[in-house]
């Protein structure tokens, strides 16, 4: 009878130890999962912002490739004129 009680107490101690071990392991893993999920949210936000920037750049590229834009830059930045045009300079400025 005494051996049976000792065996039951020992089994209870081992089971309690395993239960505590699994509870601690579970809570650590849950913390790690939460941290990874937060990192994923941050990365998803960064991806969304980068996609917006990409769309803006593609839009700018399509504008830059037009003849009108090239002509505008040639006139404004390079001072170029079409053949037969006259340049008037405002001396008041």
Tokens of 27: 């809570």
- Other CB atoms within 10 A of residue 12 CB: 10
Work out the burial of residue 28: count CB atoms within 10 Å of its CB; fewer than 13 is exposed, 13-18 middle, 19 or more buried.
Answer: exposed
User: What are the tens digits of pLDDT across the range 9-19?
Assistant: 999 999 999 99
User: What are the tens digits of pLDDT across the range 21-59?
Assistant: 999 999 999 999 999 999 999 999 999 999 999 999 999
Phi then psi for residue 90, to 5 deg, are -80, 115
pLDDT band at 4 (very low <50, low <70, confident <90, very high): confident
The full set of domain ranges for the chain reads 2-76
Of residues 12 and 6, more confidence is placed in: 12
pLDDT of the residue at 79: 80
**Nearest CA among 19, 25, 46, 45 for reference residue 33:** 25
Residue 70: which residues within 8 A CB-CB, separation 6 or more? 64
pTM here?
Answer: 0.56
């Amino acid at each position: 009878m005494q051996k049976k009680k000792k065996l039951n107490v020992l089994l209870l101690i081992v089971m309690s130890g395993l239960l505590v071990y699994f509870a601690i392991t579970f809570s650590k893993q849950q913390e790690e999962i939460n941290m990874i999920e937060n990192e994923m949210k941050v990365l998803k936000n960064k991806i969304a912002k980068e996609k917006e920037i990409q769309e803006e750049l593609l839009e700018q590229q399509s504008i830059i490739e037009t003849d009108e834009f090239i002509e505008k830059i040639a006139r404004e930045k390079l001072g170029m004129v079409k053949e037969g045009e006259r340049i008037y300079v405002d001396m008041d400025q």
